[in-house]
Amino acid sequence: MIRIRFLPPFAMLALFLVSGCSSHQEPAALQGIAIQALAGIRGQEETAPPMTRQNGFLAVSPQLVATTNDPVVGVVLKARDAQALLTPSGQSGNLVTWLSADRASFTFTGGTILVRTSGLGNDLQNADFSQLLTVMASGQSGAAQREHVYLTRDFQQKRQVFACAVTPMGRADIRIAGREYSTLKFEEACKDDNEVFTNTYWLDGGTGLIVQSIQWIHPNTGRAYFQIIDK
């Protein structure tokens, strides 16, 4: 499926100017500009086999999981109708960065609590949710401030502070890639002057990891559905 965007004259001129080819200069990836494929996370063709979704999450089959020795994260960007399987690509302390086949990356801590995105456009550069972790550890409801830093299109940092209310939603038994998890579910309802969103986390009692989550990233990116399949 393809979708053609409205191109203002400035962009059409730009398209004309980059429509050449050369031995040294890189052509702009034209298919990524005028026509946007819907499959991959970055708007490019997804190489993995197509997968269905369940409750918004990527339905990863146990058979697929059996083909790899690495842990994987399934991600769905609902507003973009995009999905991908991520594999770990690096670690810095307790932060783990996961990469998609078309080279978008997500950095998580504690399983799937999102710290950074790369390659999505309007990327989240950093997130501070230390108060969320404190409230979750207490098991009670509580207020928690959340801070996001975005890199703007003119390469400046833009900080956004959200006032959030964290609420434990009780026990929830979930199934990821055929495996049962007994989790505690939490909701984090956040708002600032412009945005209102709710993140949901499923905390696995066994490992203490957030094995499943729904998190808001940016107005243009929307919400992401994450599931971690640890080996």
The interface with another protein within residues 131-190 (CB under 8 A) comprises 149, 151-157
User: What residues pair up with 159 in beta bridges, in sequence order?
Assistant: 149
Q: Which of residues 41-70 bind another protein (CB under 8 A)?
A: 42-43
2 binds another protein (CB under 8 A): no
Q: Which residue, 158 or 171, has its beta carbon nearer to another protein?
A: 158
Q: How many CA atoms lie within 13 A of 14 on its CB side?
A: 10
Among residues 179, 125, 186, 130, the alpha carbon closest in space to that of 152 is found at: 125
Structure tokens at 174: 């979930």
- Residues in Cβ contact with 159 at an 8 Å cutoff, skipping those fewer than 6 apart: 147, 148, 149
Q: Which is nearer to another protein, 63 or 155 (CB)?
A: 155
- State the number of binding residues for another protein (CB under 8 A): 59
16: contact with another protein by CB under 8 A: yes
Q: Which two structure tokens, joined as six digits, stand for 127? A: 């997130």
Binder among 52, 55, 69, 92 for another protein (CB under 8 A): 92
* Gap between the Cα atoms of 67 and 185, Å rounded: 30
Q: Which of 54, 102, 88, 80 is nearest to 212 (CA)?
A: 54
* Residue 25 C-beta: closest distance to another protein, Å: 6
Among 38, 64, 78, 126, binds another protein (CB under 8 A): 126
Binding span for another protein by CB under 8 A among 14-22, 57-65, 69-77, 138-146:
14-22
Q: Bridge-partner residues for 203, per DSSP?
A: 184, 210
Question: According to CB under 8 A, which one of 39, 71, 78, 128 is a site residue for another protein?
Answer: 128
What span, in angstroms and rounded, lies between the C-alpha atoms of 118 and 107?
9
Smallest distance from another protein to CB 184, Å: 27
Candidates 37, 51, 78, 116: give the one binding another protein (CB under 8 A): 116
231 binds another protein (CB under 8 A): no
Of 1, 2, 4, 22, the residue at the interface with another protein (CB under 8 A) is 22
Cα–Cα dist 186/72, whole Å? 23
Q: Name the strand (E) or helix (H) holding 1.
A: none
Q: Which C-beta is closer to another protein: that of 83 or that of 200?
A: 83
Residue 150 CB partners (closer than 8 Å, separation 6+):
122, 123, 124, 125, 157, 158, 160, 218
93-112 residues near another protein, rule: CB under 8 A: 93, 95, 97, 99, 102-105, 107
Given the rule CB under 8 A, which residues bind another protein? 6, 8-11, 13-29, 32-33, 42-43, 89-93, 95, 97, 99, 102-105, 107, 115-116, 118-123, 125-126, 128, 149, 151-157, 220
